[in-house]
Amino acid sequence: MDWLGIAISLVKIVVVFSALMGGVSVMTWVERRVSAIIQYRWGPNRVGPWGLLQPIADGIKFIQKEDIVPASAHKPFYIAAPALAVATALSAFSVIPFGSEIQVFGRTVKLVILDMDGGILWGFAATALGVYALVLAGWASRNKFSLIGGLRSSAQMISYELPLALSIASVVLMAGTLRPTEIVAQQAGWFFHWNIFKGVPLLGFILFTVAGYAETNRVPFDLPEAEGELVAGYHTEYSGMRFAAFFMAEYVNMMTSSALGITLWLGGWQLGFPVPLTGVPLVILQVLAFVGKLAFFQFLFVWIRWTLPRFRYDQLMDLGWKGLLPVSLANLALNGLLVALGLNVAR
Amino acid sequence: MDRVALFVLSVLVIASAIVVIRHKNPVVSAIGLAFNLVAIAGFYMLLGAQFVGLLQIIVYAGAIMVLILFVIMLLNLREEALPHPAGTFQRVLAPLATLAFTGVIGRALWTASPSTFPAAAAGYGTADSVGKALFTNYFYPFEAISLLLLVAMVGAVLLSKRRLP
């Protein structure tokens, strides 16, 4: 058995997942502070400098809260749903490369947890299973608001998975591979080599971003938890850490969605310009570039949430099936044509 | 390592399959089926067919089962009060089908030689090799299935457009 390989994999898993969880706690603070700025309020500014310790206070509060399971709930599913939400959200992130490679104990280690041939499909599979968490939470609560929230989420995620998959398919068509590390490697050099400028420029990325907002149940697509209509949707009955688990899963999903977009269209960890550096400093710079791009898209998520109103349910379905789907099909066909003609593609 | 994974997956597949047919609650049955499909995807991966395994999860567990679950929840099916009485047809056919199935499995076990997992050839089971196989050797069956799906789709649209009296 390759114990060193297993140990390296474990270290990567622990480091990346801890970083994600750290990112989640920072994001809760960013979300509340930025929303406050947008709405001309102060936001949480009491715990620590600029309120930066607020997430820790929140965490302690969540742990102290009573864990309520409704008497009529389906207990096994009710308990499993939040865990499933976090597990699928984290495992989807594992195919995202966050740097090139480093030398550890004389062997080359790629900075990605899972470097597999069908890596992008792995991300899809994990996200697809994440739907169950929401649906089960809604059903197991035995509460009409939860049930409607769960049903909405399943309908919404299935509808928007199609444009999402088709927009990704257009990139895969250009790149000729499903392996995220190879797709990133193809986008080396100046930023105009990034996939966003290839094929039909910008369109695929915009489609992906819109569908990604719907997949992560964020405003303007947060119908599954529309508080004006459904109290809190699928997590109405949840309290304490189980509620926090759904919260964490949502933020991890946001990061996975943006990270996938960055990997496929915006060069992943590529800097976008050549630098006269090699070895560890270059790798650190690459990881920082990845984190920086990620941070920008997290901010965009928050910005859009507190700027746009929510869609009505029929508008949501219309946009998905009559708007995004035909456009993404056209995008795929156009990109296929460009690849066939050998024009403006990655290879 | 492979054997441990095979054993764990087999137990999961059989246990979830029993849940599907034995549980009285349709939602639990549906989740059992989803679990079963994911575990079977594990078998595919174990055999080196990772592309097929991932598609199994995405298409069957991720899309089709969610739709089935959606319908079950929408119809708000409750737990069955009584088991369905088996009809004469079923009484005759079920033992015959069981016998035939046991025969097939028995013969397969009898003829199979105990062996380790064959090492997959380089590039086996990747998206590349599956795609090439589909569009060269299996081109006509592939197109026939596409046509079948198209017909089913048109049929579904036609049914949903039908005016109710």
Helix (H) or strand (E) holding A102: strand A101-104
Q: Residue A279 pLDDT > 90, yes or no?
A: no
pLDDT in tens, B61-86: 888 888 888 888 777 666 555 566 66
Q: Residue B147 pLDDT > 60, yes or no?
A: yes
**Percent of chain A topping pLDDT 90:** 2
Does the beta-carbon distance from B54 to A121 stay under 8 Å? yes
CA separation, residue B102 to residues A124, A192, A312, B105, B107 (Å): 37, 62, 54, 5, 8
Say if residue B7 is in the same domain as residue B71. yes
Find the closest chain B residue to A75 by CA distance: B28
Mean pLDDT of A60-64: 86
In chain A, which residues have their Cβ closer than 8 Å to the Cβ of B27? 74, 77, 139
User: Would B55 be classed as within a structural domain?
Assistant: yes
Q: CB of B126 within 8 Å of any CB in chain A?
A: yes
Q: Residue A59 pLDDT > 80, yes or no?
A: yes
Q: How far is CA B135 from the centre of its chain?
A: 24
Say if residue B136 is in the same domain as residue B71. no
Name A200's Cβ contacts closer than 8 Å, sequence gap at least 6.
Answer: A170, A331, A334, A335, A338
Does the beta-carbon distance from A129 to B127 stay under 8 Å? no
Residues in chain A: 347
Mean pLDDT of A61-76: 82
Is-contact B48 B6, C-beta < 8 A? no
* Banded pLDDT at A181 (limits 50, 70, 90): confident
* Banded pLDDT at B141 (limits 50, 70, 90): very high
Q: Residue A233 pLDDT > 90, yes or no?
A: no
In chain A, which residues have their Cβ closer than 8 Å to the Cβ of B31? 77, 132, 136
Half-sphere exposure of A256 (CA within 13 A, CB side): 28
Q: CB of B35 within 8 Å of any CB in chain A?
A: no
Closest Cβ–Cβ partner in B1, B34, B127 for A132:
B34
Interface test with B, best of A3, A154, A166, A171 (most B CBs within 10 A): A154
| Number of domain units in chain B | 2
CA separation, residue B165 to residues A193, B127, B160, B162 (Å): 59, 49, 13, 9
Surface of B (84-123) touching A: CB under 8 A: none
Give SS3 for A107: strand
Domain boundary among B78, B100, B118: B78
What distance in Å separates the CA atoms of residue B88 and residue B80, rounded to the nearest whole number?
21
Closest Cβ–Cβ partner in A74, A121, A129 for B61:
A129
Domain regions of chain A by residue span: 64-341
User: Would B161 be classed as within a structural domain?
Assistant: yes
Q: What is the pLDDT of residue B58?
A: 87
What distance in Å separates the CA atoms of residue B94 and residue B84, rounded to the nearest whole number?
15
Q: Does the model's ipTM exceed the 0.90 cut?
A: no
Does the beta-carbon distance from B57 to A139 stay under 8 Å? no
Domain boundary among B51, B78, B105: B78
Is-contact A256 A96, C-beta < 8 A? yes
Q: What is the pLDDT of residue B76?
A: 67
pLDDT in tens, A99-131: 887 777 777 778 788 888 888 888 888 888 888
What distance in Å separates the CA atoms of residue A111 and residue A164, rounded to the nearest whole number?
25
Is-contact B23 B32, C-beta < 8 A? yes
Does the beta-carbon distance from B54 to A150 stay under 8 Å? no
In chain B, which residues have their Cβ closer than 8 Å to the Cβ of A121? 51, 54-55, 58, 127
In terms of average pLDDT, the best of A108-122, A141-155, A328-342 is: A328-342
* Banded pLDDT at A40 (limits 50, 70, 90): confident
Find the closest chain B residue to A122 by CA distance: B54
Is-contact A177 B123, C-beta < 8 A? no
Say if residue B9 is in the same domain as residue B71. yes
Q: Which domain holds residue B165?
A: 126-165
Domain boundary among B16, B46, B78: B78
Interface test with B, best of A131, A136, A144 (most B CBs within 10 A): A131
Mean pLDDT of A166-190: 84
Amino acid letter, residue A316: L
Per-residue tokens: A176: 């000729």
Helix (H) or strand (E) holding B88: helix B88-111
